[in-house]
């Protein structure tokens, strides 16, 4: 488990190894559906075909990958799309053409063909790339994806090979911003803020026993397997959600994942509880 900020170096190495293989983006994580609904969801919409159990190690790696991919962009995009694809080598255009014909002529989903034929690591998730915004993919793929009609299979050529891609849904882009400890403290004085906001502490329970912020509920990353799959039922994706950890690294990873799951109003506490203690309230223990 990636439990402490000291693990970020290892996380970075893991991301670089995966990035060398994955040309577009890290595989998306399971949508927050309860297990009883998963089978039905897969049949209803192809977007749910990639549902599978994932560890927090995968979650953090994917979040880091998205964070690095978006570095240097404005982050103020007004549209996001849910994309799945398959990738074949540059010299396999004939195979791509045959697969595209099968999608038209047979009762088969792109995710099934991606699992069997794609050379992208996302094949493990049926080719699902998750929710993406502009500036996170190679230009040729991005142009094809953002101009494609919903659910239509389109072809794209990039430096990685040939792609068949499908946009399954679109939405207004949410936001993920840094909030300074001083601003958080100011908001927390408002009773309505505590009633309406969702406050998450992703540190481990033994850390929370040492120091905590009033109103923040524990969502330890080591227990992600327990709360992750049902997060959409536990919390409201449309509410302002504030995430804190020790120094702001784990909380950013968690917030990145929450954004991929449809949470649209995310605030990462900059510097974590350590910054809150040293800059706002010295009664909160430092550790």
User: Known catalytic residue: 245?
Assistant: yes
Cα distances (Å, whole numbers) of residue 153 to 125, 156, 171: 18, 10, 19
Catalytic residue, chosen from 13, 69, 120, 245, is 245
Cα distances (Å, whole numbers) of residue 273 to 3, 179, 250: 15, 12, 12
Contact partners, residue 91, CB within 8 Å, separation at least 6: none
Catalytic residue numbers, as ranges:
245
């Amino acid at each position: 488990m990636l439990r402490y900020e000291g693990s970020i170096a290892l996380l970075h190495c893991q991301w670089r190894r995966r990035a060398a293989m994955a040309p577009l983006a890290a595989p998306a994580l399971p949508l927050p559906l309860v297990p009883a609904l998963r089978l039905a969801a897969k049949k209803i919409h192809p977007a749910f075909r990639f549902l599978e159990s994932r560890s927090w190690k995968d979650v953090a790696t994917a979040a880091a990958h998205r964070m690095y991919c978006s570095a240097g962009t404005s982050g103020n995009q007004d549209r996001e799309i849910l994309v799945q694809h398959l990738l074949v080598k540059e010299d396999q255009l004939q195979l791509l053409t045959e697969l595209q014909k099968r999608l038209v002529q047979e009762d088969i989903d792109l995710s099934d063909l991606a699992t069997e034929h794609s050379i992208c690591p996302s094949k493990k998730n049926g080719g699902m790339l998750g929710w993406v915004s502009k500036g996170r993919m190679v230009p040729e793929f991005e142009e094809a994806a953002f101009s494609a009609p919903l659910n239509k299979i389109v072809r794209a050529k990039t430096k990685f090979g040939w792609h068949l891609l499908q946009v399954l849904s679109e939405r207004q882009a949410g936001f993920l911003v840094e909030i300074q400890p001083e601003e958080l403290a100011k908001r927390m004085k408002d009773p309505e803020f505590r009633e309406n906001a969702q406050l998450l502490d992703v540190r481990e329970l033994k850390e929370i026993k040492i120091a905590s912020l009033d109103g923040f509920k524990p969502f330890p990353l080591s227990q992600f397997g327990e709360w992750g799959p049902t997060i959409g039922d536990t919390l409201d994706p449309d509410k302002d959600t504030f995430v804190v950890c020790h120094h702001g690294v784990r909380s950013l990873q968690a917030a990145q994942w929450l954004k991929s799951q449809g949470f649209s109003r995310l605030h990462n506490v900059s510097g974590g509880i350590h910054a809150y203690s040293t800059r706002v309230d010295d009664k909160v223990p430092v550790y």
